[in-house]
Amino acid sequence: MYQEIDLDKIDISKEPPTEEPARQYYFIAKCRRYVKEFEKQLGRRLTFFTQTFGCQMNARDSEKLTGILEQIGYAADESEEADFVLYNTCTVRENANNKVYGRLGYLNGFRKKNPMMMTALCGCMMQEPLVVEKIKHSYSFVDLIFGTHNIYKFAELFCAAFENRFIANTPKKKGAMIIDIWKDTDKTVEDLPAKRKYFFKSGVNIMFGCNNFCSYCIVPYVRGRERSREAKDIIREIETLAKDGVVEIMLLGQNVNSYGRNLKEPVTFAQLLKEAEKIEGIERIRFMTSHPKDLSDELIEVMKNSKKICRHLHLPLQSGSTDILEKMNRKYTKEQYLGLVEKIKAAMPDIALTTDIIVGFPGETEADFAETMDVVRKAEFDSAFTFIYSRRTGTPAAAMENQVPEDIVKKRFDCLLKEVQEIAAGKAMKYTGSVQKVLVEHVNEQDSHLVTGRMSNNSVVHLPGTADLIGKIIEVRLTECRGFYYIGEVK
- Contacts to ligand SF4 by CB under 6 A: 210, 212-214, 217, 219-220, 254-255, 291
The nearer residue to ligand 5AD, 30 or 93, going by C-beta atoms, is 93
Question: Is residue 356 a contact residue for ligand 5AD (CB under 6 A)?
Answer: yes
Q: Which stretch binds ligand 5AD (CB under 6 A): 152-160, 176-184, 242-250, 388-396?
A: 388-396
Q: Residue 201 in 3-state DSSP?
A: strand
Question: Is residue 316 a contact residue for ligand 5AD (CB under 6 A)?
Answer: yes
Question: Is residue 358 a contact residue for ligand 5AD (CB under 6 A)?
Answer: yes
Residues 6+ apart with CB under 8 A from 453: 438, 439, 440, 441, 460, 461, 463, 469, 474, 476
Give me the least distance between CB of 143 and ligand SF4, in Å please.
Answer: 30
The alpha-helical segments, DSSP class H, found in 89-171 are 94-113, 129-138, 154-166
Question: Is residue 20 a contact residue for ligand 5AD (CB under 6 A)?
Answer: no
Radius of gyration of the chain (CA): 24
Question: Is residue 276 a contact residue for ligand 5AD (CB under 6 A)?
Answer: no
Count the helix, strand and coil residues of the chain and give each as a percent rounded to the nearest 5. Answer: 40, 20, 40
Question: Is residue 92 a contact residue for ligand 5AD (CB under 6 A)?
Answer: yes
Residue type, 430: K
Question: Is residue 67 a contact residue for ligand 5AD (CB under 6 A)?
Answer: no
Give me the least distance between CB of 409 and ligand SF4, in Å please.
Answer: 19
The nearer residue to ligand 5AD, 360 or 453, going by C-beta atoms, is 360
Q: Which does 358 bind (CB under 5 to 8 A by kind): ligand SF4, ligand 5AD, none?
A: ligand 5AD
Question: Is residue 389 a contact residue for ligand 5AD (CB under 6 A)?
Answer: yes
Question: Is residue 223 a contact residue for ligand 5AD (CB under 6 A)?
Answer: no
Q: Please identify which residue in 327, 392, 412, 462 interacts with ligand 5AD, judged by CB under 6 A.
A: 392
End-to-end alpha carbon distance in the chain: 41
Residues 83 and 48 sit within 8 Å (Cβ to Cβ): yes
Give one DSSP letter per residue of 221-286, joined into a string: HHH-S-EEPPHHHHHHHHHHHHHTT--EEEEE-TTGGGTTTTSSS---HHHHHHHHHTSTT--EEE
Scanning residues 240 to 259, which ones bind ligand 5AD (CB under 6 A)?
none
Give me the least distance between CB of 428 and ligand 5AD, in Å please.
Answer: 22
The nearer residue to ligand SF4, 212 or 457, going by C-beta atoms, is 212
Q: Which does 390 bind (CB under 5 to 8 A by kind): ligand SF4, ligand 5AD, none?
A: ligand 5AD
Give me the least distance between CB of 17 and ligand SF4, in Å please.
Answer: 35
Q: Residue 80 in 3-state DSSP?
A: coil
Q: Which residues is 118 bridged to in the sheet?
A: 84
The nearer residue to ligand SF4, 21 or 220, going by C-beta atoms, is 220
Give me the least distance between CB of 297 and ligand SF4, in Å please.
Answer: 20
Q: How far is CA 138 from the centre of its chain?
A: 28
The nearer residue to ligand SF4, 213 or 385, going by C-beta atoms, is 213
Taking CB atoms within 8 Å and a gap of at least 24, the contacts of 409-417 are 409/359, 409/360, 412/359, 412/360, 412/364, 412/369, 413/359, 413/360, 413/386, 413/388, 415/373, 416/357, 416/359, 416/369, 416/372, 416/373, 416/376, 416/386, 417/386
The nearer residue to ligand SF4, 214 or 276, going by C-beta atoms, is 214
Q: Please identify which residue in 148, 212, 255, 318 interacts with ligand 5AD, judged by CB under 6 A.
A: 318
d(CA 244, CA 308): 18
Q: Which does 255 bind (CB under 5 to 8 A by kind): ligand SF4, ligand 5AD, none?
A: ligand SF4
Question: Is residue 216 a contact residue for ligand 5AD (CB under 6 A)?
Answer: yes
Residues 136 and 103 sit within 8 Å (Cβ to Cβ): no
Q: Which stretch binds ligand 5AD (CB under 6 A): 140-148, 297-305, 368-376, 383-391?
A: 383-391
Kindly state the number of chain residues that form the binding site for ligand 5AD, as judged by CB under 6 A.
Answer: 12
Comparing every residue's Cβ against ligand 5AD, the nearest one is 356
Question: Is residue 387 a contact residue for ligand 5AD (CB under 6 A)?
Answer: yes
By residue count, the chain amounts to 491
d(CA 146, CA 366): 42
Q: Residue 322 in 3-state DSSP?
A: helix
Residues 53 and 91 sit within 8 Å (Cβ to Cβ): no
Q: Which stretch binds ligand 5AD (CB under 6 A): 203-211, 220-228, 331-339, 389-397?
A: 389-397
The nearer residue to ligand SF4, 289 or 452, going by C-beta atoms, is 289
Q: Which of 142, 160, 155, 20 is nearest to 89 (CA)?
A: 142
Query: Where does this chain bind ligand 5AD (CB under 6 A)?
Result: 92-93, 216-217, 316, 318, 356, 358, 387, 389-390, 392
